Amino acid sequence: MRIHKEGYIIILISFIVLGIVSPLSGLIPMPVWLHYTILIALLLVFLWIVKFFRSPKRTIFIDETKVLCPADGKIVAIEEVYENEFLNEKAIQVSVFMSPNNVHVNWAPVSGRISYMKYHPGKYLVAWHPKSSTENERTTVVIESESGKNILLRQIAGAMARRIVCYAHEGNLIRQGDEFGFIKFGSRVDIFLPLDAKIQVKLNEKVKGKLSVIAVI
């Protein structure tokens, strides 16, 4: 299992804390069972942090007629909306909710040029809240695909997520399946598609980033 670079510092700090707290707990008078319970709890938290920052290796065959899922998680919204930040037109919004147990790497659903990228500070509503798409801390990225269609992605921080990392920069080229970001500790990714896109997923369906097909365009 590979560890994502965003987790290196956090995992190192967690390991140091585990190494310090474990022997110190032995110096405090307490029942033996309580001492071992604390050690086991600390170890489980450390292992969960390591698991959170896992970065699976997934091989794909690039197909520009397909829009790949940008993240692991569950489909929590499929609806027609008016996108007013960049597209300024109606689009189909598909939202993927990532629980703290999901892989939190974000991948490009199509190949193309980054035509827009903007970070928005905001609230920390729970990620499945309808207003989180426009009121939470978020980053918006638009990929102009090779067919000329604009695919808008929105990384949204949730109640637990307090840090959005985005590697996209305006003017850069990106390939389908490339990493474009990472969101730490529970979050959501919205993808806005043209109205003529043929959606291939259903509500509450569990999806895999870079593997599941969101739509055909």
- Which amino acids are annotated catalytic? 187
Cβ atoms of 94 and 200 closer than 8 Å: no
Q: What's the CA gap between 69 and 63, in Å, rounded?
A: 13
Count other C-beta atoms under 10 Å from residue 190's C-beta.
23
Q: What's the CA gap between 180 and 95, in Å, rounded?
A: 17
Q: Which two tokens stand for residue 45?
A: 């938290």
Q: Which two tokens stand for residue 93?
A: 């919004």
The 3-state DSSP class for residue 57 equals coil
Count other C-beta atoms under 10 Å from residue 44's C-beta.
10
